[in-house]
């Protein structure tokens, strides 16, 4: 039986790229997965785990013959990756990515290719863990999670349909929006929380009493700071490539935090209770544990 994808090339076989490969293999919709990247040992590990079927360090060779190419590298590497794969792409190859910032990836594609390819469909799976690397990947990562497509003005409808179908096979809910809106929303719901978690742990780790602080850390601290164990390189790139939206959210958060500081200084328990009650109500309404 002919499968939906004959050759899938994944550039960057880490948590997300590896989990996508596993999910599509589990669904039985791909014949061959080619893993590509610069780290041979990492690629060999992906091959040994059965996540990919073939490996390649020459990106132009890796994408030759591919039905779909997924770029799963840090967003800061997008332009360089696009330039390297350009000679090997056919006019029929679908190109997509998994980056957490979309306007920067689209700009990188426009610069690398000279114009936005019709078969280019930017995407972002809202899924992940604080773990990284191919060993952390698993087939059910995307089940019940949302994948956001941000087609460009040049994206062909058939290319969008193919990328939507691919992600649908992982069990994800696939939605569409524009890149600017995506970046604004993710700055608030993902990028700012990661920035705060990294900052808090860094602050505490530089205290003289850090040993005692971490030894006595309760569940709340561990829950809030879990994401500070995420890949630093990935989040370094995200913060720099979504800086405008992130700075707007950071300014708003700083103002609200200053109001809380003032309420504590003024012994204003009513203000604190209003904020805490409103926060609890909002989270209970919109978030499921």
* Half-sphere CA count of 15, side-chain side, radius 13 A: 16
Domain boundaries, the chain: 5-177, 182-286
Q: What is the pLDDT of residue 224?
A: 83
Does 157 score more than 80 pLDDT? Answer: yes
Instruction: Name, in order, each residue with C-beta under 8 angstroms of 259's C-beta and a sequence gap of 6 or more.
Output: 271
- Residue 30, phi-psi category: left (phi > 0), alpha (psi -120 to 50), beta (remainder): beta
Does 212 score more than 80 pLDDT? Answer: no
Does 211 score more than 90 pLDDT? Answer: no
The residue to which tokens 């879990």 are assigned: 226
Per-residue pLDDT reduced to its tens digit, 268-280 = 999 999 999 999 9
In degrees and rounded to multiples of 5, residue 192 shows phi and psi of -65, -45
CATH number for domain 5-177, candidates 3.40.50.1110, 3.40.50.720, 3.40.50.300, 1.10.287.3510: 3.40.50.720
Please check whether residue 82 is in contact with residue 108, taking contact to mean a CB–CB distance below 8 angstroms.
yes
Q: How many residues are present in the chain?
A: 289
Q: Mapping DSSP to helix (H, G, I), strand (E, B) and coil, where does residue 203 land?
A: helix
Instruction: Name, in order, each residue with C-beta under 8 angstroms of 268's C-beta and a sequence gap of 6 or more.
Output: 262
Contacts by 103-107 with C-beta closer than 8 Å and gap 24+?
Answer: 103/179, 103/180, 103/183, 103/242, 104/75, 104/78, 104/241, 104/242, 105/75, 105/78, 106/150, 106/152, 106/179
Please give the DSSP secondary-structure letter assigned to residue 172. Answer: P
What is the mean pLDDT of the segment spanning 164-188? 97
Does 31 score more than 80 pLDDT? Answer: yes
CATH number for domain 182-286, candidates 1.10.10.10, 3.40.50.2000, 3.10.450.50, 1.10.3660.10: 1.10.3660.10
Per-residue pLDDT reduced to its tens digit, 221-262 = 888 888 898 889 989 999 999 999 999 999 999 999 999 999
């Amino acid at each position: 039986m002919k499968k939906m994808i004959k050759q899938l090339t994944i550039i960057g076989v880490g948590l997300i790229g590896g989990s996508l490969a596993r999910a599509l293999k589990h669904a039985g919709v791909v014949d061959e997965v080619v893993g590509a990247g610069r780290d041979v040992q990492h690629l060999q590990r992906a091959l040994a785990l059965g996540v990919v079927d073939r490996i390649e360090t020459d990106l132009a060779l890796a994408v030759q013959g591919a039905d779909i190419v997924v770029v799963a590298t840090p967003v800061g590497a997008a332009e360089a990756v696009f330039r390297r794969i350009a000679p090997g792409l056919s006019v029929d190859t679908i190109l997509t990515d998994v980056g957490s910032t979309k306007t920067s990836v689209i700009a990188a594609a426009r610069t690398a290719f000279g114009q936005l390819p019709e078969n280019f469909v930017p995407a972002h799976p809202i899924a992940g863990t604080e773990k990284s690397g191919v060993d952390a990947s698993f087939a059910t990562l995307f089940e019940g999670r949302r994948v956001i497509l941000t087609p460009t003005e040049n994206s062909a409808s058939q290319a969008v349909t193919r990328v939507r179908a691919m992600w649908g096979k992982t069990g994800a809910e696939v939605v569409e929006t524009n890149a600017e809106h995506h970046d604004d929303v993710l700055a608030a719901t993902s990028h700012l929380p990661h920035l705060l978690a990294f900052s808090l742990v860094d602050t505490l780790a530089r205290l003289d009493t850090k040993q005692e602080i971490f030894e006595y850390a309760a569940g709340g601290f561990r829950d809030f700071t879990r994401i500070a164990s995420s890949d630093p390189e990935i989040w370094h790139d995200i913060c720099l490539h979504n800086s405008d939206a992130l700075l707007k959210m950071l300014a708003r958060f700083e103002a609200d935090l200053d109001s809380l500081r003032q309420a504590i200084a003024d012994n204003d328990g009513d203000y604190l209770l209003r904020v805490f009650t409103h926060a609890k109500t909002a989270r209970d309404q919109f978030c499921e544990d």
